[in-house]
Amino acid sequence: MLETIPLTLDAVRDVAKACFDDGWRLVTLTAVDTGEAGFDILYHYDKDLVMKHYRLSIPKETVVPSISPIYFTALLVENEIIDQFGICFSDLVLDFGGALYLEEEVRTTPFCKVSVAQKQC
Amino acid sequence: MARTILPFGPQHPVLPEPLHLKLVIEDETVIEALPTLGYVHRGLEKLCEVRDFNQMVQIVERVCGICSCLHALCYCEGLEQIMGIEVPRRAKYLRTIWGELHRMHSHLLWLGLFADAFGFESLFMQFWRVRERVMDIMEATCGNRVVVSVNVVGGVRRDLTAEQCQWIEQQLVIIEKEVRQLTTTILNDYTVKKRTVGKGVLSKETAYQLGAVGPMLRGSGWAQDARMTGYAAFDEIGFEPVVEHDGDCYARSTVRFRETLQSIDLVRLAIARMPAGETSVNVEGALEDDTPHPIAGGRAGTMQRFKRDKHARPADVPAPNLDLPAGHVAVKVKGKPDGEAVTRVEQPRGELMYYLKGTGAKYMDRVRIRTPTFANIPPLLAMLPGCELADVPVIVLSIDPCISCTER
């Protein structure tokens, strides 16, 4: 079973900075729709082929601090999560405005179980 | 000096798939590059909600044709982890063999495309000619050339006979000889070096910080390869990654060339050490024809075509074995996936990661796929500023971009 470390919203950037300084590579982020509870965002880090996973559980319509100013590579996956789940990230280094894959006029969030969110951060 | 925005792609002679880059240039020098994606996004991850966990094997194989075997392997290993399935050892070796054959054909394909990108068409044809032998092996052993569809949850659906193993080893001798004949051209030719040495340099530190994977990372001096984690049979075969240190297009092409030769050795080792035994466990709810069997035609029917039309089969490709081996199924596993898992395998283009979440139902709750090109685009954006416009196609191609993987 997957072991994850709980993460709070305030600690997202601090943990990312600590991982960056300690030589951890960001593998990716994974967003999971947990239904009424909101979303889980998993941050997957790797060092010497050992992975650790942080789990951020948030209610819907929470704005999450972007880690792209620390890990530039996060910019694509964070934009993808905006497209697919409508989760908003603050201070993205490159914001595609919810149109990384989808057309700009598409305002639904196709990966949510119930797609009602509007992608306006 | 005035700046110009130049669109590169989505349709471009060097791009097999649509990637659009907005290049901000001053004179002939690139200042900035911004990507645009979304031309081939299919939402395949979402299909896990309407296709059961066994059917999803066929879906993930179609994330990318070139790496289909490794997508299925990564997905199946994740599910086996969640369901606590112990895969038979023979199946692990078979997975290794087909996985490395995929790496060989992918690298040979890329080496050909790369040669074509800098105008070396005869080299392109030579690499693709060699690649055909690898494709013949896959067609003769799996019934398909590209989407081989050998992996199932719990093992593999095909087996190799002793005659097939012997024939593969004979083919590997020819492939190795033909690949080695191209060594001087791909590694020492003046034109090749002129177009690749010192182009698109990615330093060791930058490669790691920007999350580069695969030959991009190893070409910059990092000995990191998911095969070192010991998935499939790599824990028994052993593995040392190919590393180059210059971080330029030449280093990346050298890594891929040397990995092609390394894969030949790995296939030989896997064949030599492959134990006898079962090839799969039987997972409840699996598709009816997921029962493992060698080249029975099945849905694809390719081998049935071979059987009907003798002219469709090259003379040196052995006739497919249509007999089912006895005792190939070990035990039956009951239950549905309930839990989470993260698995990684090394695709030809780099590290592939799957996150899987099941809730005890026949449909997965979430399938998340992080492909290597997705990880290699940010390093590409860092490599392009400062380069000459004429070098952009070579640098873009040096990451071996697969956009159908990236967008899924």
| Strand pairing class (A5-7; A50-58) | parallel
B345 in contact with chain A, both atoms CB, cutoff 8 A: no
Interface residue of B77, B218, B357, B407 to substitute, partner A, most A CBs within 10 Å: B357
- Give the model's pLDDT for residue A121: 61
A59 in contact with chain B, both atoms CB, cutoff 8 A: no
- Give the model's pLDDT for residue B295: 46
Q: Provide the shortest C-alpha distance from residue B248 to chain A (in Å).
A: 20
Using a CB-CB cut-off of 8 Å, the residues of chain A touching B342 are: 2, 44, 51, 53
Q: What percent of chain B has pLDDT over 90?
A: 33
Residue B16: partners with Cβ closer than 8 Å, 6 or more residues away: B113
Which stretches of chain A score pLDDT less than 70?
114-121
Interface residue of B210, B234, B340, B365 to substitute, partner A, most A CBs within 10 Å: B340
B40 in contact with chain A, both atoms CB, cutoff 8 A: no
Q: What are phi and psi of B309, to 5 degrees?
A: -110, 100
Q: Provide the shortest C-alpha distance from residue B376 to chain A (in Å).
A: 9
- Give, as one character, the DSSP assignment of residue B390: G
- Residue in A25, A31, A51 closest to B342 by CB: A51
CATH of domain A5-90: 3.30.460.80
Q: Is the pLDDT score of B105 beyond 90?
A: yes
Interchain pair B43, A110: CB under 8 A: yes
* B254/B240 Cα distance (integer angstroms): 16
Instruction: Kindly report, residue by residue over B283-320, the tens digit of the pLDDT.
Output: 665 544 544 444 433 334 444 444 444 445 555 555 54
* B337/B354 Cα distance (integer angstroms): 15
* pTM of the complete model: 0.86
Interchain pair A32, B357: CB under 8 A: yes
- Give the model's pLDDT for residue B325: 46
Instruction: Kindly report, residue by residue over B122-131, the tens digit of the pLDDT.
Output: 888 999 999 9
* A115/A83 Cα distance (integer angstroms): 12
Q: What are phi and psi of B394, to 5 degrees?
A: -65, -40
- Give the model's pLDDT for residue B397: 87
- Give the model's pLDDT for residue B309: 46
Residue B328: partners with Cβ closer than 8 Å, 6 or more residues away: B159, B278, B279, B280, B292, B293
Q: What percent of chain B has pLDDT over 70?
A: 88
Classified as helix, coil or strand, B356 is: strand
Using a CB-CB cut-off of 8 Å, the residues of chain A touching B340 are: 1-2
Q: How far is CA B149 from CA B23, B60, B79, B145, B195, in A?
A: 39, 10, 17, 10, 38
- Give the model's pLDDT for residue B143: 81
Q: Provide the shortest C-alpha distance from residue A40 to chain B (in Å).
A: 11
End-to-end CA separation in angstroms for chain A: 34
ipTM field: 0.89
Q: Find, in chain A, the residue whose alpha carbon is nearest to that of B44.
A: A111
Higher-pLDDT residue of B283, B331: B283
How high is the mean pLDDT of chain B?
A: 83
* A101/B248 Cα distance (integer angstroms): 30
Quick check: B221 and B169 in contact, CB under 8 A?
no
Instruction: Kindly report, residue by residue over B45-95, the tens digit of the pLDDT.
Output: 888 888 888 888 888 998 888 888 899 999 999 999 998 888 889 899 999
- Give the model's pLDDT for residue B65: 81
Q: Cα torsion at B388, B392, B393, B398 (round to 10°)?
A: 120
pLDDT band at B218 (very low <50, low <70, confident <90, very high): very high
* B161/B320 Cα distance (integer angstroms): 10
Q: Find, in chain A, the residue whose alpha carbon is nearest to that of B340.
A: A2
Residue B162: partners with Cβ closer than 8 Å, 6 or more residues away: none
Classified as helix, coil or strand, B98 is: helix
Higher-pLDDT residue of B287, B7: B7
Q: Provide the shortest C-alpha distance from residue A110 to chain B (in Å).
A: 8
Asked if omega into B10 is within 30° of 0 (cis), the reply is yes
Interchain pair A76, B355: CB under 8 A: no
Using a CB-CB cut-off of 8 Å, the residues of chain A touching B353 are: 27-28, 44
Interchain pair B340, A100: CB under 8 A: no
Q: What are phi and psi of B157, to 5 degrees?
A: -95, -5
- Burial level of B392, CB count in 10 A (0-12/13-18/19+)? buried
Using a CB-CB cut-off of 8 Å, the residues of chain B touching A99 are: 38
Instruction: Kindly report, residue by residue over B227-269, the tens digit of the pLDDT.
Output: 998 888 898 888 889 999 999 999 999 999 999 999 999 999 9
- Residue in A2, A31, A44 closest to B341 by CB: A2
Interchain pair A72, B34: CB under 8 A: no
> Which 60-89 residues of chain A touch chain B by CB within 8 A?
71-73, 75-77
Using a CB-CB cut-off of 8 Å, the residues of chain B touching A52 are: none
| Strand pairing class (B20-26; B3-8) | antiparallel
Classified as helix, coil or strand, B118 is: coil
A99 in contact with chain B, both atoms CB, cutoff 8 A: yes
Q: Is the pLDDT score of B389 beyond 50?
A: yes
* B146/B106 Cα distance (integer angstroms): 10
Q: Is the pLDDT score of B324 beyond 80?
A: no
- Residue in A33, A53, A101 closest to B38 by CB: A101
DSSP H stretches of helix in B118-189: 121-142, 162-181, 183-188
Interchain pair B41, A51: CB under 8 A: no
* B71/B389 Cα distance (integer angstroms): 35
Full set of structural domains in chain B with CATH: 3-407 (1.10.645.10)
List the single range of B97-111, B150-164, B275-289 with lowest mean pLDDT. B275-289
Q: Provide the shortest C-alpha distance from residue B101 to chain A (in Å).
A: 24
In the predicted model, what is the mean pLDDT of residues B311-337?
Answer: 55
* B150/B145 Cα distance (integer angstroms): 12
- Give the model's pLDDT for residue B316: 58
- Give the model's pLDDT for residue B372: 92
- Give the model's pLDDT for residue B219: 93
End-to-end CA separation in angstroms for chain B: 40
Q: Provide the shortest C-alpha distance from residue B269 to chain A (in Å).
A: 24
Q: Provide the shortest C-alpha distance from residue A21 to chain B (in Å).
A: 10
Size of interface A-B (CB pairs under 8 A): 78
Q: Please give the structure tokens belonging to residue A19.
A: 């991982």
B342 in contact with chain A, both atoms CB, cutoff 8 A: yes
Interchain pair A71, B45: CB under 8 A: no
- List the one residue out of B102, B149, B58, B127 whose CA is nearest residue B266: B102
Residue A17: partners with Cβ closer than 8 Å, 6 or more residues away: A70
